[in-house]
Structure 1
């Protein structure tokens, strides 16, 4: 019986679905939003050029949603059932009284909040709340339980790059295939998403002692890497800062982030460099590389092209145009 139960657990799957809506009818758009979100008092209005497009892909543990709309969408959203993060790509939006910045992840607070979206493009990630609480406990050294997040926090710099690093990795897999997927792998992906969120947004456990324990090594390791992103850092430095063995550190990063600490740091640096280059403001690629702790220009250019499909100088020229 034990062997059968084990085999069943190992073969457990979830169904990843993709729902696509494209309409010029506000009533159809309203129905689509109500299908994907818990909303009240929702209205969808638009003029003669009204167009609504939405793609929702995922499982009960982790979903990605992309929406564009030429109209106005006010209403009340209830984010109690999952951890919900949104980032505005264009247009304007207010969530819970907060004007959303372009290109920055913003966390919905639990419970109901008023929202209004106007002529917008946005993405949304929903992560199973229990998985987020479990990952937070493993990183922070406390018992799993409800979390409180810093209100209206907008990440910048290295934490923001760490967030986008996670989104790139998770989205590539989620958007790549639908149908039956491994439950274990989906839990791993949701855990990676949770780790990216927890790295980007300050948080703490509700109604638990504030003291940190020796088990908070991974969170300390991430903090050390992001605070010293522009400096020469070795894996031994990170392990010492986190009060972990090098082997334990490598194992924890592989389990939570799917990579090594040094590869994680390298990718954060590349994303930070790209963020700077895309503004068109830096005087040179070399200045950007040095600002994120990269000293070997040849390796930087090669790694950048491998990651983003173009040379850093091409990104800078395009941004200036």
Structure 2
């Protein structure tokens, strides 16, 4: 199946060989075992969004399906019937309102895929999902749960997007033929999935992803510390490059510049309060080691030299 495309395949009768091949091409290669007589026709609808593929699959017969899911995650939502699986050695039974999450490059066996079970599936390239999980929640992708509850607010949000965007793409194949549109849809769905799998703690109100918030919190707690890029990355639990990407994407700045802003604010507060005898004492206290660069950064941030702020505090 080519990127930026949509297709539909149907099959009648008990011979599912060609249909199984189509499912393998559109979603995942697998081994199929037909366990019951056909009840309805098999039906496949699939959309390729580049790093993400969407599929609606109904076999029309009770089957078992085994796949290693090479190179990609699978998130399968049964819209009816029963989807019973062995995933990484764990037993997962999913009904309507739940999703089975299958990791890449590990054997997963759908022990029972009932004849009345049609799934909506989302396939996400391994590296693509790993990037979003790390950027959004600061964890490794192998922390993904093996089952997702779609009754939570985050689960409902992801499922609503999946149903809406998938239906729109099938109705309008020209839409996903545009690579920019296809990748935007893929990014939206993946971010919503990660949020559903790793919901924030109630009441945390966190606007930034956790890898960014962790570093901000650590720098706020100890701005005078001689922070290095490696130490910042260690606080976030990611590599330096991933940390920089997270700050650019979600905070519109760099970790180093964010630290400078925190330090400048602390110096500014001290100068306003008259809590220091000299500008240099305040600058050194909060981690600045080069007074010339500090003074230039202060003027750029507050529109006056730091000495003017201190003098103003002395007159008040």
Smaller-chain TM-score range? 0.5 to 0.7
Residue equivalent to 1:210: none
Cα deviation, residue 45, structure 1: 4.3
- Choose from 159, 162, 185 the match for 2:157: 162
Report runs of 4+ in structure 1 exceeding 4 Å deviation: 237-244
How do residues 245-284 of structure 1 correspond to structure 2 at under 5 angstroms?
A: 252=250
Answer whether contact 1:58 1:174 (CA < 8 A) is retained: no
Match status 1:71 vs 2:61:
yes
Cα deviation, residue 124, structure 1: 0.8
Q: What secondary structure, in the 3-state scheme, does the structure 1 residue paired with 2:79 have?
A: strand
What do residues 214-250 of structure 1 show as CA deviations (whole Å, max 9, x unaligned)? Answer: xxxxxxxx737xx35xxxx9xxx66599869xxxx9x
Name the CA distance, whole Å, in 2 between partners of 1:37 and 1:181: 18
What do residues 16-74 of structure 1 show as CA deviations (whole Å, max 9, x unaligned)? Answer: 13132232233343333333344444222442645211112224322221122331111
For structure 2, the residue ranges without an aligned partner over 5 or more in a row are 217-246, 252-316
Answer whether contact 1:106 1:154 (CA < 8 A) is retained: no
What do residues 110-156 of structure 1 show as CA deviations (whole Å, max 9, x unaligned)? Answer: 311111311112111112222222222322357xx754313334354
Q: Compare CA radii of gyration and give the structure with the larger one.
A: 2
Name the CA distance, whole Å, in 2 between partners of 1:88 and 1:37: 15
For structure 1, the residue ranges without an aligned partner over 5 or more in a row are 1-12, 203-221, 254-321
Number of residue pairs aligned between Structure 1 and Structure 2: 207
Deviates more, 1:106-115 or 1:150-159: 150-159
Name the CA distance, whole Å, in 2 between partners of 1:67 and 1:77: 15
What do residues 57-94 of structure 1 show as CA deviations (whole Å, max 9, x unaligned)? Answer: 22432222112233111131122321211111111121
Match status 1:132 vs 2:129:
yes
Residue equivalent to 1:113: 108
TM (norm. structure 1) is 0.54
* RMSD, matched Cα: 3.5
Name the CA distance, whole Å, in 2 between partners of 1:176 and 1:29: 21
Residue equivalent to 2:169: 174
Q: 1:46 to 1:147 in 2, by over 3 A?
A: closer
How do residues 1-321 of structure 1 correspond to structure 2 at under 5 angstroms?
A: 14-27=3-16, 28-47=18-37, 49-96=39-86, 97-110=91-104, 111-115=106-110, 116-119=112-115, 120-141=117-138, 146-179=141-174, 181-202=177-198, 223=200, 227-228=202-203, 239=207, 252=250
